[in-house]
Amino acid sequence: MPKQLFIKTFGCQMNELDTEKIAGTLSDLGYSLTDSPDKADMVILNTCSVREKAEYKCYSDLGRLRELKKENPDLIIGVGGCVAQQEGERIVEKAPYVDMVFGTDNISDIPKLLGTSRGKPRNKVSTGRRRAKYAGNVSGEVNIPIKRSNPVKAWVNIIDGCDKFCTFCVVPHTRGRERSRQPDDICREIRGLAAAGYKEVTLLGQNVDSYGKDLGGNAGLAGLLSMINYIPGIERIRFVTSHPADFSDRLIDAMTELPKVCEHLHLPLQSGSEEILERMKRNYTYKEYKDKIKRVREAIPDISITTDIITGFPGETDGDFNMTMDALMEIQYDGVFAFKYSKRPYTPARLYDRLVPSAVSKDRLDRVFELQNCITLLKNQACVGREFDILIEGNSKKDRGKLTGRTRTNKIVHITKRDGISTGDMLKVRITSATRASLTGEVG
Ligand code: 5AD
Ligand code: SF4
């Protein structure tokens, strides 16, 4: 019987890809994934520290794992991801029953860590944190085996880290400076995915528009997209996350010209107030942001656009917040990810005064959701009666009689199961109804 591994993932797609790497690495060591921590021989928390709540959740989960370990003293507990990168050995001080701690750059060290941690008493821990924190170039990590969670769409890391240092954000302190992967490595990985039957790739990075700046040359993301566009078998290419200061006309041209690049853009605005944007050190004005949205919509009229918003950044007045609400009305996003400002270690904003009371931030957050829910619903309802190309991604999570796919614009579509339709199929689907969260359609 193979050893059972349970991994809980917090945070962004980058962490989800890291989870697939952790699962791949441990699968080579004889572990197979289980969805129940109670049955597991090893439990790993792949943590996120972008907001305090996620970090707090990691420690409360660790508390529960401690109880599990009392029942099963052989249980191996690992902590990976951004909290591990940020806190290192401090995790062990707080939770001495943890067996291994590995940062985001240390996934390939897991076999070594296990080797050492097994030989030691349980309350002693190996941490790979210091050894490879800023690994220099991630191309050395290419060979980490990846156990993909979906058979048709895959995440592909193109750049790690971030040099932007937005004043609220801990990411440059956890994931380090920008390191681009070599285009050849990326294309080789994607050709391998195509050969294995994958149809869609999403290129990942904290700031994909910075891709290639550290490699010399000027191919950038646009150049990379055009290379991937020629890989047979891959039908859809996506990329996240773009940065409004770096998102360029050249990239808009590439998105327009390259048929496989999907009509979706995630462009985090954070705030509609010029003053707040400046204090966040975002390096663009709302006016510049709006101009870029206008240009991309002129070039690709059907594009769907999503964003991130923070409410209650230090110093955000009612007037500033109303500018964010005005921006939501003006831009008419397809979807918004909104968060209450959270004070993070190492960030300049942690020292800012004029803190916004939590209840006010929460109320503003609720107002963002309330407005955006209406906009998203109207946008989705406008799809009813229209036909879209849908890539079927698998069974619906909620309804066993349905399959789920996505439009090129990244909207979720459910269709009724039928003989002859399976995961990986590309179908023309007519939309029959819409909610805020998804569309329902019929195969045309
Ligand atoms: N507080 C709240 N939200 C944050 N984000 C990043 N840092 C913080 C923070 N300290 C949000 C931003 C970013 C998204 C990934 O998380 O909106 O775009
Ligand atoms: Fe954080 Fe800003 Fe970098 Fe995004 S661009 S990861 S918000 S520092």
**142 within some domain:** no
When pLDDT is cut at 50, 70 and 90, the band that residue 143 belongs to is confident
Number of domains present in the structure of the chain: 3
**143 within some domain:** no
Q: What is the mean pLDDT of residues 21-33?
A: 94
**140 within some domain:** no
**88 within some domain:** yes
Q: Does residue 135 carry a pLDDT above 70?
A: no
Of 332, 357, 381, at which residue does a domain stop?
A: 381
Same domain, 246 and 288: yes
In the chain, the percentage of residues whose pLDDT exceeds 70 is: 94
Q: Which of 309, 265, 255 is nearest to 286 (CA)?
A: 309
For the chain, the first-to-last Cα distance in angstroms comes to 46
**SS3 for 337?**
strand
Same domain, 215 and 289: yes
CATH code for position 178? 3.80.30.20
Same domain, 329 and 432: no
Q: What is the mean pLDDT of residues 11-26?
A: 94
User: How far is it, in rounded angstroms, from Cα 237 to Cα 235?
Assistant: 7
At residue 434, the pLDDT reads 98
0.85 cut: is pTM over it?
yes
Q: What is the mean pLDDT of residues 252-274?
A: 98
Same domain, 230 and 355: yes
Q: Does residue 119 carry a pLDDT above 80?
A: no
Neighbours of 137 (CB within 10 A): 13
Q: What is the mean pLDDT of residues 18-29?
A: 94
Structure confidence by residue, pLDDT tens digits, 345-365: 999 999 999 999 999 999 999
CATH code for position 432? 2.40.50.140
At residue 87, the pLDDT reads 86
**Which atom number of ligand 1 is nearest to the Cα of residue 168?**
10
Q: Does residue 125 carry a pLDDT above 50?
A: no
Same domain, 218 and 190: yes
At residue 142, the pLDDT reads 53
**SS3 for 306?**
strand
Which carries the bigger pLDDT value, residue 242 or residue 136?
Answer: 242
Q: Which range is least confidently modeled, 85-99, 254-268, 276-290, 297-311? A: 85-99
**185 within some domain:** yes
Q: What is the mean pLDDT of residues 249-266?
A: 98
User: How far is it, in rounded angstroms, from Cα 308 to Cα 341?
Assistant: 12
Of 339, 365, 381, at which residue does a domain stop?
A: 381
Site to probe by mutation for ligand 1, drawn from 164, 265, 336, 339 as the one with most ligand atoms within 8 Å of Cβ, is 339
**145 within some domain:** no
Q: Does residue 228 carry a pLDDT above 80?
A: yes
Same domain, 76 and 50: yes
Q: Does residue 284 carry a pLDDT above 90?
A: yes
Distance from the CA of 50 to the center of ligand 1, in angstroms?
6
Same domain, 113 and 251: no
User: How far is it, in rounded angstroms, from Cα 48 to Cα 50?
Assistant: 6
Q: 208 with 239: CB under 8 angstroms?
A: yes
User: How far is it, in rounded angstroms, from Cα 271 to Cα 341?
Assistant: 11
User: How far is it, in rounded angstroms, from Cα 372 to Cα 374?
Assistant: 5
When pLDDT is cut at 50, 70 and 90, the band that residue 219 belongs to is confident
User: How far is it, in rounded angstroms, from Cα 318 to Cα 38?
Assistant: 47
Which carries the bigger pLDDT value, residue 1 or residue 32?
Answer: 32
Q: Which range is least confidently modeled, 61-75, 97-111, 131-145? A: 131-145
Distance from the CA of 166 to the center of ligand 2, in angstroms?
6
Distance from the CA of 129 to the center of ligand 1, in angstroms?
24
In the chain, the percentage of residues whose pLDDT exceeds 90 is: 82
Neighbours of 189 (CB within 10 A): 18
At residue 120, the pLDDT reads 43
By CB atoms closer than 10 A (0-12, 13-18, 19+), residue 31 is buried
**169 within some domain:** yes
**34 within some domain:** yes
Residue 219 has, within 13 A of its CA and on its CB side, a CA count of: 15
Which residue's CA is the nearest one to ligand 1's atom 13? 308
CB-based pocket (< 6 A), ligand 2 = 162, 164-166, 169, 171-172, 206-207, 243
Q: Which range is least confidently modeled, 71-75, 120-124, 158-162? A: 120-124
User: How far is it, in rounded angstroms, from Cα 411 to Cα 379?
Assistant: 11
CATH code for position 20? 3.40.50.12160
Same domain, 88 and 162: no
Q: Does residue 138 carry a pLDDT above 70?
A: no
Q: 74 with 68: CB under 8 angstroms?
A: no
When pLDDT is cut at 50, 70 and 90, the band that residue 252 belongs to is very high
Distance from the CA of 58 to the center of ligand 1, in angstroms?
17
Q: What is the mean pLDDT of residues 324-329?
A: 98
Q: Which residues contact 14 (CB under 8 A, 6 or more apart)?
A: 104, 157, 175, 204, 205, 206
C-alpha distances (whole Å) from 117 to each of 92, 99, 198, 294, 406 are 13, 6, 37, 55, 43
Helices (H), 231-357: 249-257, 274-279, 286-299, 318-331
φ, ψ of residue 235 to 5 degrees: the values are: -110, -25
Q: Which range is least confidently modeled, 11-15, 134-138, 145-149? A: 134-138
At residue 10, the pLDDT reads 94
Q: What is the mean pLDDT of residues 318-326?
A: 98
Which residue's CA is the nearest one to ligand 1's atom 16? 50
Same domain, 8 and 127: yes
Distance from the CA of 337 to the center of ligand 1, in angstroms?
10
User: How far is it, in rounded angstroms, from Cα 252 to Cα 107?
Assistant: 35
Q: Which residues contact 212 (CB under 8 A, 6 or more apart)?
A: 180, 183, 218, 219, 220, 221, 223, 224
User: How far is it, in rounded angstroms, from Cα 391 to Cα 204?
Assistant: 20
At residue 141, the pLDDT reads 54
Q: 235 with 391: CB under 8 angstroms?
A: yes
Q: Does residue 371 carry a pLDDT above 70?
A: yes
Strands 426-434 and 439-443: antiparallel
Q: Which domain holds residue 398?
A: 387-443
CB-based pocket (< 6 A), ligand 1 = 50-51, 168-169, 268, 270, 308, 310, 339, 341-342, 344
Site to probe by mutation for ligand 2, drawn from 12, 169, 177 as the one with most ligand atoms within 8 Å of Cβ, is 169
**Which atom number of ligand 2 is nearest to the Cα of residue 282?**
2
When pLDDT is cut at 50, 70 and 90, the band that residue 104 belongs to is confident
Of 135, 165, 199, at which residue does a domain stop?
A: 135
Q: Does residue 382 carry a pLDDT above 70?
A: yes
Same domain, 394 and 364: no
Residue 309 has, within 13 A of its CA and on its CB side, a CA count of: 32
Q: Which of 306, 316, 305 is nearest to 271 (CA)?
A: 316
Which carries the bigger pLDDT value, residue 136 or residue 391?
Answer: 391
Same domain, 171 and 314: yes
Structure token digits, residue 70: 């009392």
At residue 216, the pLDDT reads 85
Same domain, 126 and 161: no
Helices 318-331 & 358-381, crossing angle to 10 degrees? 10
